[in-house]
Amino acid sequence: MATFQYIAKDASGNETRGVVEAGDRNAAIASVRAQGLMPTAIGQVKSSAPAAAPSKKPAKKGRAHAPADDGGKKKSKGLNMEIKLSMPKFLRGKVKTKILTQFTRQLATLVNAGLPLMRGIDVLKRQTKDQQMLEALNGISENIASGGTFSEALTQYPKIFDHLYINMVKAGEAGGVLEVVLGRLAEFAEKSEKIKNKVKGAMIYPIVVLCAAVGITAFLLVTVIPKFKQVFADMMGGAELPGITQFVIDASEYVQHNGLTIAAAVAVVVALKKILGKTEKGAYFFDVLSLKMPVTGTLVQRTAVSRLTRTLGTLLSSGVPILQSLVIVRDTSGNRVVANAIQSVHDAVKEGEGMTQPLSQCWVFPPMVISMVEVGEETGALADMLTRIANTYDDEVDNAVAGMTAAIEPALIIVLAVVVGTIVVAMFLPMIKIISSVSGGA
């Protein structure tokens, strides 16, 4: 018989810890469940020294198991060496959202099916191909096996699991509804990624067209225009060129002689934006600017409202306290204007006031959002109301993306046509004048 240490939840969701004697892990799980408990973590307690064998037969069993123990030790050493030789942590990026979402969804399914948390993590470890995620799962398993909770283990990997994730898991553990919370986390991540991908996809075409316009214009100014200039000088004998032609030639000469200056100016502007963006006032200015841009401002605003309401609604429905939820939403908003508004809401709620008044003082939130939040507070269904707001604004983001794409595409094509057409007309006007003078002389 072996000794197993376990962490489990009772019918009320309270956490219980203890030890059981069982022949193997499955028997230990069955023993814990027989007590009316739901095990969330279970691991064998290994003795510090091998027990003395009372007879030859048990001694042979001990020797038979010894190689397996040695092999486990060697394997552990090999794993430690592999981690040491892997990429340094400060050089690693974040785990992709797709990988984290897939892990969360699969773990929620396994736990909901009645599989213990540790067993579910072990199953997912065998399926994980991402090295950073695999290393994190190994560490989480060791932490839980040593008596820690799942949420405590997640805090050791802040680059993978953010405050939102950790606090929701903590709330799920406290309420005994971990599988429900994991499902909500997966749903939240999937919807957030869907909105993000739609916005990114809408910007791909305009960026490609702008890059093509800049590239074509630069090629014409640097390569084609100088040749036409020489032709005009030879054939027109110093005669005055049309105004539009002279403008294009002057622009060509400026680009040729000041190309490095233009490139340096662009680099300085980009660097200055990044430097200013790291300051509090500069970052606030750029966040305000992003919300008030003529074309994209509405899209950014709707995306911010959707993200905020979905995050807050998910936290509240998962049992996270309102003040703690507001702090998490503030830190994950991604926009300082919105973060300041949430801080005002936090301060008001802390003083026993409602959310409506501080929200109404921020121009980011439309009257419809404020009204629905007020109704949610009055009816006690704030979490459900916030989720409805998020769903509504998700649809509005979809419509805004479609409308912006439909408006930007023809506008950019017109701009490209005007730029290239202007250059072409400017080059052909002198040619028409030359042909006319030749025909008149003949």
Angle at 192 between CA 186 and CA 194, to 5 degrees: 100
Buried b (16+ CB within 10 A) or exposed e, 96-117: eeebbbbbbbbbbebbeeebbb
For residue 30, give both structure tokens: 């069955």
Model pLDDT, residue 271: 92
* CA 225 to chain CA mean position, Å: 46
* CA 177 to chain CA mean position, Å: 25
Whether the CB-CB separation of 311 and 329 falls below 8 Å is answered with: yes
Place of tokens 């306290």: 321
Task: Please compute, for residue 45, the number of CA atoms within 13 A of its CA located in the half-sphere on the CB side.
Answer: 13
**Domains of the chain by residue range:** 1-45, 95-161, 187-442
Write a three-state SS string for 147-176: CCCHHHHHCCCCCCCCHHHHHHHHHHHHHC
| pTM check: above 0.85 | no
Write a three-state SS string for 262-328: HHHHHHHHHHHHHHHHCCHHHHHHHHHHHHHCCCCHHHHHHHHHHHHHHHHHHHHHCCCCHHHHHHH
Sign of CA dihedral 46, 47, 48, 54: negative
For residue 224, give both structure tokens: 């084609």
> Coil, helix or strand for 230?
helix
Listed in sequence order, the DSSP H helices in 53-148 are 56-85, 97-112, 117-127, 131-145
Whether the CB-CB separation of 225 and 420 falls below 8 Å is answered with: no
For residue 220, give both structure tokens: 């014409």
CA distance 41 to 119: 8
- pLDDT truncated to tens, each residue of the chain (442 aa)? 788 888 877 766 677 888 888 887 777 877 887 887 777 777 777 654 444 444 444 444 343 333 444 444 343 333 333 333 344 444 445 678 888 888 888 888 888 888 888 888 888 888 888 888 888 898 898 888 888 888 888 888 888 888 878 888 887 887 777 888 888 888 888 887 887 787 777 778 788 888 888 888 888 888 888 888 888 877 766 677 888 888 888 888 888 888 788 889 989 999 998 898 888 888 889 888 888 888 778 888 888 888 888 888 888 888 888 888 898 888 878 788 888 989 999 999 998 888 888 888 888 898 989 999 999 988 888 989 998 998 888 888 888 888 877 777 788 888 888 888 888 888 888 888 777 776 655 5
Model pLDDT, residue 47: 52
Q: For 215-228, write each residue's pLDDT tens digit.
A: 888 888 888 888 88
* CA 379 to chain CA mean position, Å: 33
H or E segment to which residue 334 belongs: none
Model pLDDT, residue 267: 92
Residues across the chain: 442
